[in-house]
Amino acid sequence: MNPQALADLSSRLPELRLLTEPGDLEHYGRDWTRRWTPAPLAIALPASIEEVQEIVRWANHHRVAIVPSGGRTGLSGGAVAANGELVLSLARMNRVLGFDAVDRTLTVQPGIALEAVHTAAREHGLIYPVDFAARGSCSIGGNIATNAGGIRVIRYGNTREWIAGLKVVTGLGELLHLNRGLIKNSSGYDLRQLMVGSEGTLGIVVEATLRLTDPPPASHVMLLALPDMQALMQVFALFRERLSLQAFEFFTDVALKHVLAHGAQRAIEGDYPYYVVTEFDAADERAQEVALAVFEQGLEQGLIADGVMAQSDAQAAALWRLREGITESLAPHKPYKNDISVRIGAVPVFLQDIQALLAHEYPHMEVVWFGHIGDGNLHINVLKPASLSDADFIAQCEHVTQRLAETLHRHGGSISAEHGIGLVKRAYLESTRSAAEIALMRGVKTVFDPNGILNPGKLFA
Taking CB atoms, the residue at the shortest distance from ligand MLT is 327
Residues 446/165/175/31 CA torsion (nearest 10 deg) = -60
Among 53, 60, 94, 327, binds ligand MLT (CB under 6 A): 327
298/335 with CB nearer ligand MLT = 335
C-alpha closest to that of 235 among 347, 133, 368, 343:
347
Question: What's the angle, vertex CA 413, arms to CA 259 and CA 380, rounded to 5?
Answer: 20
Amino acid code (one letter) for 222:
M
290/331 with CB nearer ligand MLT = 331
Among 192, 321, 337, 445, binds ligand MLT (CB under 6 A): 337
Name beta bridge partners: 209: 107, 165
72 binds ligand MLT (CB under 6 A): no
Q: Shortest distance, CB of residue 329 to ligand MLT, whole angstroms?
A: 10
243/259 with CB nearer ligand MLT = 259
Q: Shortest distance, CB of residue 308 to ligand MLT, whole angstroms?
A: 21
Q: Find the length of the chain.
A: 461
Q: Shortest distance, CB of residue 115 to ligand MLT, whole angstroms?
A: 15
Residue 13: phi, psi to the nearest 5? -130, 80
Q: Shortest distance, CB of residue 149 to ligand MLT, whole angstroms?
A: 8
258/445 with CB nearer ligand MLT = 258
C-alpha closest to that of 428 among 419, 142, 40:
419
Q: Shortest distance, CB of residue 254 to ligand MLT, whole angstroms?
A: 14
5/264 with CB nearer ligand MLT = 264
C-alpha closest to that of 431 among 443, 417, 444:
417
379 binds ligand MLT (CB under 6 A): yes
384 binds ligand MLT (CB under 6 A): no
Q: What is the DSSP string of 205-240?
A: EEEEEEE-BPPPPPEEEEEEEESSTTHHHHHHHHHH
Q: Classify 43 as helix, strand or coil.
A: strand
- Please report, for residues 24, 77, 250, 276, the alpha-carbon distance to residue 371 in angstroms, rounded to integers and kept in the order given: 33, 20, 6, 10
144/164 with CB nearer ligand MLT = 144
Among 56, 133, 340, 459, binds ligand MLT (CB under 6 A): 133
Q: Shortest distance, CB of residue 148 to ligand MLT, whole angstroms?
A: 9
Residues contacting residue 404 through CB under 8 Å, at least 6 positions apart: 338, 340, 354, 357, 358, 380
54/131 with CB nearer ligand MLT = 131
Q: Name the site residues for ligand MLT (rule: CB under 6 A).
A: 75, 132-133, 326-327, 337, 339, 379, 381
